[in-house]
């Protein structure tokens, strides 16, 4: 069951990251806001769940797609331009690292 939970969180992170990259430029600033709200809401929900390590898996999936997108292509094309929209999405990705690190310890205490 744990493997299935982490596989679902990884797939969710991959899909949300792909959607965030696709949406962040459309209808600025609404597309970027929608991408960031979705990204952080899911990460926060997983972190506050009974299994917070799934938040780390989600973040790993999100950052995996993001790393591929940041590399660009050999032809010089970029899916994530280095303008205000792209930089804001990149900085938001750095915040996800903190959420992923917070999920590493594992189960939540019963008092929280």
Does 34 score more than 90 pLDDT?
yes
Distance in angstroms (rounded) separating the CA atoms of residues 98 and 78: 26
Using 50, 70 and 90 to split pLDDT, how confident is the model at 80?
confident
Using 50, 70 and 90 to split pLDDT, how confident is the model at 108?
low
Which pLDDT score is estimated for 73? 77
Mean pLDDT of 6-28: 92
Distance in angstroms (rounded) separating the CA atoms of residues 40 and 47: 10
Does 111 score more than 70 pLDDT?
no
Mean pLDDT of 95-108: 84
Rounded to 10 degrees, the C-alpha dihedral 47/50/52/53 comes to -150
Q: Tokens representing 24?
A: 């962040």
Using 50, 70 and 90 to split pLDDT, how confident is the model at 63?
very high
Measure Cα distances from 33 to 41, 108, 109 in Å.
12, 29, 32
Using 50, 70 and 90 to split pLDDT, how confident is the model at 38?
very high
The answer to whether residues 21 and 79 touch, using CB atoms and an 8 Å cutoff, is yes
The answer to whether residues 54 and 103 touch, using CB atoms and an 8 Å cutoff, is yes
Mean pLDDT of 22-38: 89
Cα–Cα nearest to 101, from 63, 67, 69:
63
Distance in angstroms (rounded) separating the CA atoms of residues 77 and 59: 25
Q: pTM of the full predicted structure?
A: 0.88
Domain range list for the chain: 2-102
């Amino acid at each position: 069951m744990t493997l299935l939970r982490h596989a679902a969180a990884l797939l969710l992170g991959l899909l949300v990251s792909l959607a965030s990259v696709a949406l962040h430029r459309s209808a600025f600033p609404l597309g970027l806001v929608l991408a960031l709200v979705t990204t952080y809401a899911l990460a926060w929900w997983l972190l506050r769940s009974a299994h917070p390590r799934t938040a780390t898996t989600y973040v790993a999936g999100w950052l995996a797609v993001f790393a591929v997108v940041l590399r660009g292509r050999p032809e010089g094309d970029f899916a994530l331009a280095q303008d205000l929209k792209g930089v804001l999405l990149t900085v938001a990705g750095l915040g996800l690292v903190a959420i992923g690190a917070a999920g590493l310890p594992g189960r939540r205490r019963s008092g929280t």
